[in-house]
Amino acid sequence: METRIEKDSLGEVKVPGNAYWGAQTQRAVENFPISGLMAHPKMIDAFVMVKKAAAVAHKQLGLLGAEPADAIVQASNEVLRGEMRDQFVVDVYQAGAGTSFNMNVNEVLANRANEILGGEKGAYKPVNPNDHVNMGQSTNDSFPTAMRISTRVLMSEMMPVLDALEMALKEKAKEFDHVLKSGRTHLQDAVPIRLGQEFAGYAATIYKCKRLLSQAATELEELGIGGSATGTGLNVHPKYRYIVCDLYREWTGLPFRPAEDMREAMQSNLPMGAFGGALRNLALELTRIANDLRLLCSGPLTGFAEITLPAVQPGSSIMPGKVNPSIAENLNQICFQVLGLCTTIDYCVQAGQLELNVMMPVMAWNAQFGLTILTNGVRVFTELCVRGITADEERCKHYAETSPSLATALNPTIGYQAAAEVVKQALKEKKTIPAVVLEKGLLSEEDLKKILDPWKMTEPGIPGL
């Protein structure tokens, strides 16, 4: 492979001749052959956007000439269109703070900008990666800015998917509102509930998870760009951070704003912690809902079998005709992975020291990967599972009408102790609750019918009154 010789502050480095990256990126490639995982596409977009905005701002401020600035912008636009994506080669697990990836972006844009201006790769004239592409920046403010932008953009892509899930659950709640069934607590028979009420509860949960994510999104919209190396803004024009945040808003449609305190924005990754907590809550609740659906469809002959999930593939390589809740199982696996990613984010957030948190590269990748797989998983879950759920109304009704927990409605009339004796006798003699009540002469048939109306037991009130 043809190579070229480049120099950095440590000496000479051999770089692939056709590469747009340079010496510092090459050192990172050689130093960190760890996972083979590269930056998330949205992180590349966000970082390139930071560089593009910096070039535009410094041109406006008269700090960067039009020719190099315009070349940087053109190179940035090419990357944002999807070109040169194979040039971002630094492993996710790299040196602290993300300096290696920052220089990867700087070098790629500088080399392409010089090509545009008629120069050669590796010459860094007239556009230098440090002096021009990285002008007014440090890794310490540009990396967290790109991390927050990319995470926030991915969140905006997740929200419509969660909206669709919430709506699908609401539609099922309406469709199943007339379906009476037995409730279950401790996995034991409990008082009646309507299947639609269960699904309405699931929809309400997704709404609350969305609300928590929205709150975290607001925190991510505050950016410490312009803070330079320690949040003091050294070597940065005072107007720079306001100009670039205006550009971020224009280009993304999201309300990014300069941090109130640039030192705090560099020291603390509280917004990433808030995001990780909201994502964790979503994953936990989705796991619970998926588990409920797996229970409710268990069977078809030896389980609950109150609902049927859409059949998407054969369920066994040896048992003919077996169908599994594959989509719900898929969502469970995704949620478990996301919970692990959120734990990693937690550890990274607390690892900041003094003026900087150097654990941002792995924090960023875990956040972006988690959002990607959970967004895709929820989309599949909604379309291939929730929308196609059907109910076995007769089976649900049978469970509701034969449940010994119907006796709960007798408490206000005959008392808890007498109702408990009814339940014990009904279970022992395999009789229904109404049969035992009438046999013992505790209530008239007319009063019993009013009190043990399973439908009325699914709404607030005292049955029979």
Catalytic residues: 316
Of 354, 130, 138, give the one whose Cα is nearest residue 235.
138
Extract the tokens encoding 188: 């034991």
Of 152, 139, 145, 106, give the one whose Cα is nearest residue 225.
145
Question: Do residues 154 and 372 lie in contact, with contact meaning Cβ atoms separated by under 8 Å?
Answer: yes
The Cα 323–Cα 34 span in angstroms is 40
SS3 letters across the chain? CCEEEEEECCEEEEEECCCCCCHHHHHHHHHCCCCCCCCCHHHHHHHHHHHHHHHHHHHHCCCCCHHHHHHHHHHHHHHHCCCCHHHCCCCCCCCHHHHHHHHHHHHHHHHHHHHHCCCCCCCCCCCCHHHHHCCCCCHHHHHHHHHHHHHHHHHHHHHHHHHHHHHHHHHHHHHCCCCEEEEEECCEEEEEEEHHHHHHHHHHHHHHHHHHHHHHHHHHCEECCCCCCCCCCCCCCCCHHHHHHHHHHHHHCCCCEECCCHHHHHHCCHHHHHHHHHHHHHHHHHHHHHHHHHHHCCCCCCCCCCEECCCCCECCCCCCCCECCHHHHHHHHHHHHHHHHHHHHHHHHCCCECCECCCHHHHHHHHHHHHHHHHHHHHHHHHHCHHHCEECHHHHHHHHHHCHHHHHHHHHHHCHHHHHHHHHHHHHHCCCHHHHHHHHCCCCHHHHHHHCCCCHHHCCCCCCC
Of 423, 421, 440, 441, give the one whose Cα is nearest residue 432.
423
Give the number of other CB atoms < 10 A from CB of residue 463.
20
Extract the tokens encoding 407: 């006796």
